Structure formats: C-alpha cells, structure tokens
Homo-oligomer: A and B are copies of this chain.
Amino acid sequence: MKYSSQLIEKAVESFSSLPGIGKKSALRLALYLLNKDPEWVRSFSDSFVRLRNELKECEECHNLGDDTECSVCKDKHRNQDIICVVESIRDLMAIEETRHFNGLYHVIGGLISPIDGIGPDQLNIDDLADRIQKRNIKEVVMAISPNIEGETTMFYLSKKLKSLNVKISTIARGISFGGELEYADEITLGRSILSRIPYMLYDAETSA
C-alpha cells in the first residue's frame, strides 16, 4: 500500500509488527489515534516505553511486577507452604483470577521442548529446588498445560523434586464445567472416570 505520508507509514508499520494485526487493521488503528487528544496519544505511547524499561522480574518467583519483590511474594497473608509452578505469567494471572489459590508461585518461563531447543537449563527449575529447601515448602502444585511439552516438563520436575521432602500434585484434568460429555475426547473422559472424586458442592470461598 502507498501511504500519503511517511508518518502514517511508520505508525502502520509499528502496529502491524504486533502479532495478529495486519496492514488494514493497522491503518485503522493509526487513523483512530489521529482523532485522539495529543496528550492522550503521548500517555498511550509512554505506557509501552515504561512497561519495557521499568518492569522488574521478581527475584524469588520470576513473576513480573513494579519491584524486584512481586506483589504475591510481598503478601505475607498468603500460604507460605505451597508453591504453584506455572509456565508463564499469563497462566499465573489466570489462576489468580480464579481466587482459588492463596499460596506462592514459581514461573519457570517456558516448557521443555527439545524440538525448539529448550532444555531444563533454560528454565527457572534449579532455583525452584533451592527455594523449596530454603523455605521449607510442603507442597508443589504443577499447573502446567497437559500437552506434550507440558507432560515432559512435569515428568522432569517430579523426578527432580522427588528427593526433596515435598508433596507434588497437579491440577485436576476432567470435563470442563458446562462441557458436554459426548464431545469430550476419550483420554480426558477416560481419566475423569479413573480419577472420580466424592461429590461435593464447591464453596466459592475455598482456596488452596
């Protein structure tokens, strides 16, 4: 596409370099900015520069935050005996959103994937083991997606943590709430029968 202005071209390029945004959407977004107050656009743009330059990784759990000690690690009202291991801070946020977990986290920053050349050394696994020993952690919940890389990672983690005196659990697999039995895949359905649980009414206030 030919643009009447280099400024438009540059802004369209910026937007379309983001994942999932094509040239046409990018142009629409650029023209949208033109209708906004200059001060608004400045604060809009600043938010990205500040995000990139000022965001800090928690030295304890690798969560991201405004400080080198994240908001979860800072909160001493949380259960200090249990660590939930997650792949990314997006998964951490999703779990926080449920309000059913009140312990600590450990963001390993990826999954073991030999195809992509990612081995355990590239992940934050060694310091998880250190942390469990130092903080005398009682339980590790592996909240990791049950795909091939995830299963590999959980297998590695469970082997690695076996010698430490810590209970290892994983989040339940089963039929989603609102899901239809007839459309569930056989592995999930089969396992959900094997790991059947006593019937109970969930209490919205319950958290680990």
Are B14 and A44 in contact (CB-based, < 8 A)? yes
Are A90 and B27 in contact (CB-based, < 8 A)? yes
Are B48 and A97 in contact (CB-based, < 8 A)? no
The 0/1 profile, CB within 8 Å of B marked 1, for residues 44-68 of chain A is: 1111111111110000000111100
Query: Given B1, B29, B90, which contacts A31 in the complex, CB threshold below 8 Å?
Result: B90
A70–B6 Cα distance when bound, in Å, is 12
The yes or no answer to A33 lying at the interface (CB within 8 A) is yes
Are B17 and A28 in contact (CB-based, < 8 A)? no
Within 8 Å CB of A51, what residues of B? 7-8, 10-11, 30, 33-34, 41
The yes or no answer to A155 lying at the interface (CB within 8 A) is no
The yes or no answer to A71 lying at the interface (CB within 8 A) is yes
The yes or no answer to A20 lying at the interface (CB within 8 A) is yes
Within 8 Å CB of A42, what residues of B? 49, 52
The yes or no answer to A149 lying at the interface (CB within 8 A) is no
The 0/1 profile, CB within 8 Å of B marked 1, for residues 186-198 of chain A is: 0000000000000
Nearest-neighbor residue (CB-CB) of A63 within chain B: B4
Q: Given A1-B97, A64-B4, A66-B7, check contact A48 B52 (CB 8 Å).
A: no
The yes or no answer to A77 lying at the interface (CB within 8 A) is no
Q: Which of A113-160 contact B (CB under 8 A)?
A: none
The yes or no answer to A206 lying at the interface (CB within 8 A) is no
The yes or no answer to A96 lying at the interface (CB within 8 A) is yes
The yes or no answer to A199 lying at the interface (CB within 8 A) is no
The yes or no answer to A183 lying at the interface (CB within 8 A) is no
